[in-house]
Amino acid sequence: RIVYVNGDYLPEEEAVVSVFDRGFLMADGVYEVTSVLGGKLIDFAGHTARLNRSLRELDMASPCSDEELLAIHRELVARNGIEDGLVYLQVTRGNPGDRDFVFPDPKVTKPTLVLFTQSKPGLADSPAAKTGWKVISIDDIRWGRRDIKTTQLLYPSMGKMMAKKAGVDDAWLIEDGLVTEGTSNNAYIVKGGRIITRQLSNDILHGITRAAVLRFAAEAQMVVEERSFTIDEAKAADEAFVTSASAFVMPVVEIDGVALGSGKPGPVATRLREIYLEESL
Ligand code: PDD
């Protein structure tokens, strides 16, 4: 696999980043994941806009222009022959040459830009979408700026492990009895034909897939309510689903052992997945 590091395209074994890089020492970095279907980048403009916002919110310099980023994405997809899969991009505050809590001078320390691809043949017809995911609920103990897509992924990773241990697919994070989001996706319930998903704030990531799916739902005359919902309301819902760049629209069929509706992927989630994939391809 060919990866990109700070201007160079290299075989992955030859790509190196300093041990003093603040991404490595302090998780001082942001990232994006853009999916690729049929060799095409999905929602690239949205991911770039969110990346720039994340960088701004953290006072981090942008490593290059949006046009250069697009060129790097395309080059990597081509060099690695990616039909279906994703492009991972990470910007960290770089290597100040020593460990220090104070941000380094951006005139001296350049950000580190790393990109790589992951090939996932048949990404769009994932068998999991036909059976749906089971989830458990766990406490949301993450920091208060979940709107910034930082590389601080230890707790989401622990949540995924808790889910795995419980024999299910993912965890929904709960704060004050309310669902914030999944470990790495936005969460939705459907009740009486209405789609309910948490409103945007610093409490959740502003999903790029979420924005697209809400737009498609409105175009299909579906009713959307952007508001918080409790985990109890979720367990009493007709159906549920999550969205992300890697899972697209993934039906959720069980929460904490409680089956939703028929216990099979619901019609709204199924329809939205179809629309999302049709519009993206
Ligand atoms: N995760 N919420 C969280 C906490 C996420 O990490 C993600 C994305 C989303 C969905 O955002 P989007 O639709 O823009 O992918 C919501 C990516 C896919 C990941 O970490 O791999």
Above 90 in pLDDT, residue 281? no
Q: What angle do CA 131, 133, 135 make, to 5 degrees?
A: 150
Residues 273 and 135 in one domain: yes
Residues 162 and 273 in one domain: yes
Note the ipTM here: 0.99
Which residue's CA lies nearest to atom 8 of ligand 1? 184
pLDDT tens by residue, 32-84? 999 999 999 999 999 999 999 999 999 999 999 999 999 999 999 999 999 99
- Counting ligand 1 atoms within 8 A of each CB, the residue from 47, 160, 173, 205 with the most, and so the one to mutate, is 205
Q: Which amino acid is at 281?
A: L
**CATH code, 119:** 3.30.470.10
Residues of the domain holding 150: 128-280
Give the rounded percent of residues in the chain with a pLDDT score beyond 70.
Answer: 100
Above 90 in pLDDT, residue 19? yes
Q: Is 107 a catalytic residue?
A: no
Q: Could you give the number of structural domains in the chain? A: 2
34 CA to middle of ligand 1, Å?
A: 10
Q: Which of 123, 138, 161 is the last residue of a domain?
A: 123
Q: What is the mean pLDDT of residues 16-30?
A: 98
35 CA to middle of ligand 1, Å?
A: 11
Q: Which of 72, 99, 123 is the last residue of a domain?
A: 123
Q: What is the mean pLDDT of residues 120-131?
A: 95
β-bridge pairing 8-11 and 248-255:
unpaired
Q: Which of 94, 123, 152 is the last residue of a domain?
A: 123
Contacts with 21 (C-beta within 8 Å, 6 or more apart), sequence order: 92, 94, 95, 112
**CATH code, 156:** 3.20.10.10
185 lines ligand 1 (CB under 6 A): yes
Residues 146 and 264 in one domain: yes
How far is C-alpha 71 from the geometric centre of its chain's CA atoms?
22
Residues 116 and 189 in one domain: no
- Counting ligand 1 atoms within 8 A of each CB, the residue from 184, 202, 243 with the most, and so the one to mutate, is 184
Catalytic residue chosen out of the listed positions 40, 130, 149, 264: 149
Residues 149 and 110 in one domain: no
210 lines ligand 1 (CB under 6 A): yes
**pLDDT band per the 50, 70, 90 thresholds, residue 228:** very high
184 CA to middle of ligand 1, Å?
A: 5
pLDDT tens by residue, 161-206? 999 999 999 999 999 999 999 999 999 999 999 999 999 999 999 9
Q: Please indicate, yes or no, whether the overall pTM of this predicted structure exceeds 0.95.
A: yes
Residues 86 and 178 in one domain: no
Q: Tell me what pLDDT residue 79 has.
A: 98
Residues 241 and 138 in one domain: yes
Which residue's CA lies nearest to atom 9 of ligand 1? 185
Residues 54 and 105 in one domain: yes
